[in-house]
Amino acid sequence: MGCLAVAYLSIIETLRRKEFYVVLVLIVGLAIWLHLINISESSAGRFAKDVIMQVVWLASFALAVPLAARQIPQDLESKTVYVILARPLPRWQYVLGRTIGAAGASGICLTGLFLVLAIMLCVKGGEALVDPMLWQAFALQLVALFMLCSLAVFFSSFSTTAGAVTFSFIILCVMRYGAKSLSDMILGVSSIWQHTAWCLYLLMPHFEFFNVTQRFVHGWGPLPFWIFLYIAIYGIVYAIGLIAVCSLIFRRRWL
């Protein structure tokens, strides 16, 4: 399919930009950090494990957003989009391919960081490699990356790269770490505006669903499979919806 060829092109372009070398440095730094600190089941060890996992997730997000946000603006600026669309390739496949490419490159980075984390946890006496909670956290993080890349590509279809990066990071931070506070705040507004606020809240991408780190750190057990499946389907469907809207915007764009 044409979209897969475009996705492959995105990953190759990322390799040429040598951004994976930054990830390699992060992986080496993470391995050294994990070797030096205590990550046992004590309170201090659980705290350290929580911090490390959050760093791994945030590093993958920090790499994914600029990577996805620059896909369309960069092609427009360099005129590459005309070369790609000169072939019989529908615009929706171009948008889908660029999104999959950005998510794929980000997923490769996350996988490298995650494997170092899992191996070092295992080396230090744990059983992380066979712990379903850790693999659930990894799988949901991959879906969250796909949703985040779709969000960044969506914003980039009608704004600059800097604007898309800014909007994406704001929504990511608010929804992943402040969704509960936001819902409490909506309960405090007047009833006239409350219904509108709830509608907007429900339309937002709920990145907090994918943050199951605490379950692994404190040993609360894996998510029931149906909840895990529901969250994964929610993320994939939301991402596809964003790509569809982005394709409609890009289709109407004069090139």
Write out pLDDT tens, residues 39-73.
666 676 777 777 777 888 888 888 889 888 988 88
Tell me what the mean pLDDT of segment 19-33 comes to.
73
Angle in degrees, 0-180, between the axes of helices 43-69 and 132-156, rounded to the nearest 10: 30
Question: Which CA distances in Å does 69 have to 45, 169, 173, 195?
Answer: 36, 11, 17, 32
Which of 141, 201, 198 lies closest to 175, judged by CA? 201
Token digits for 102?
């950005």
User: What is d(CA 235, CA 191) in angstroms, rounded to the nearest whole number?
Assistant: 30
Token digits for 43?
């309170």
Query: Residue 4 belongs to what H/E stretch?
Result: helix 2-16
Query: Given this model, what pLDDT does residue 52 score?
Result: 79
Torsion sign, CA atoms 45, 48, 54, 59? negative
Task: For residue 88, give the DSSP letter.
Answer: S
Under a CB-based contact definition with an 8 Å cutoff, are residues 119 and 129 in contact? yes
DSSP three-state, residue 190: coil
Question: Which stretch of 4-18, 117-131, 190-204 has the lowest confidence by average pLDDT?
Answer: 117-131
Kindly report the number of other CB atoms within 10 A of residue 139's CB atom: 15
Q: Is 151 exposed, middle or buried (0-12, 13-18, 19+ CB in 10 A)?
A: buried
Write out pLDDT tens, residues 124-166.
766 667 778 888 888 999 999 999 999 999 999 888 889 999 9
Under a CB-based contact definition with an 8 Å cutoff, are residues 191 and 24 in contact? no
